[in-house]
Amino acid sequence: MSIPFLIIALVTLGAAAVAMALRNLIHSALLLVASWAGVAAFYLWAGAEFVAFAQVIVYVGAVSMVVLFAVLLTRRSRDDLAVAPESLGRALSALLAGGAVLGVLFGAVLATGLKVAPGPAPTVSVLQLGQQLMGPQVASLLVIGALLTVALLGAIVIASTDRDDVGASLDDARGRRQAAPLQEPEDTP
């Protein structure tokens, strides 16, 4: 346990905890990004440079955008952004379900006998990492790539189902426009 590690852990967990406690969804999302950046800092501290920068590109750069776009596109107004539990029962059951998952995960981690590697940790360069990924591990890399592509396509399929209310209002607008056609400006020579 060194001091940098403690600071990184504190920032990561603190940001995550505050993100859970805040009512404003945008603030929560931005704090979640801070938490992800903390995880990247942890990788950097642990000497995994490549993983750290990949974490920043993927999570801070891309996933954060997905989260923010999702929040903004699914809320009707700014006042809708504040979330509160609907009833005490729901809040309690959410707490119970989350606590159960946490308990299972902690139990699994604690039950696993993590062996301490003898000697100092090996330093792996980006070159070795790339050669491992492109050589012996290439099959798993391709499988993961195919899996992510399928997930992406599935998300598009799920999201692109026509919503009735949206379609109806669009048709309304179209009908109104046809009823009162815009006066075309006459061509002047």
Partner 1 sequence: MSAAATTDAFLERAPQLLRDAVTGFLPEPWRWIVNGIIAIAVILAVFGLLFAFLTLAERKILGRVQNRPGPNRAPTPTLPFLKFLGKIRTYGLAQPFADGVKALTKEDVVPRDADKLLHFLAPVALLAFSILTFAVIPYGRHLVPLELDAAVLYFFAAGASTELAVFMAGWASRNKYSLLAAMRALAQLISYELPLLLSWVPVVMLAGTLSTTGIVEAQAGWKWGFIPHWHVLTPWGFCGFVIFMVSALAESNRSPFDLPEAESELIAGHLTEYSGFKYALFFMAEYFGMIALSGMAITLFLGGWRAPLPFLEFVPSYAWFAVKLITLLLGFIWIRATFPRLRMDQLTRFAWKFLVPLALINLGTTTVWSLMAGSTALQIARWPICLALVVVPFVVIGRTLSAGVAPRTYRYAAS
* Binding region for partner 1 (CB under 8 A): 26, 30, 33, 49-50, 53-54, 56-57, 60-62, 64-65, 68-69, 72, 78, 125-127, 187
Q: Give the nearer residue to partner 1 in terms of CB position, either 69 or 106.
A: 69
Q: Least CB distance from residue 89 to partner 1, whole Å?
A: 33
Q: Least CB distance from residue 110 to partner 1, whole Å?
A: 34
Q: Give the nearer residue to partner 1 in terms of CB position, either 57 or 83.
A: 57
Q: Give me 104's structure tokens.
A: 């299972």
Q: Give the nearer residue to partner 1 in terms of CB position, either 102 or 126.
A: 126
Q: Give the nearer residue to partner 1 in terms of CB position, either 61 or 98.
A: 61
Q: Least CB distance from residue 101 to partner 1, whole Å?
A: 29
Q: Least CB distance from residue 53 to partner 1, whole Å?
A: 4
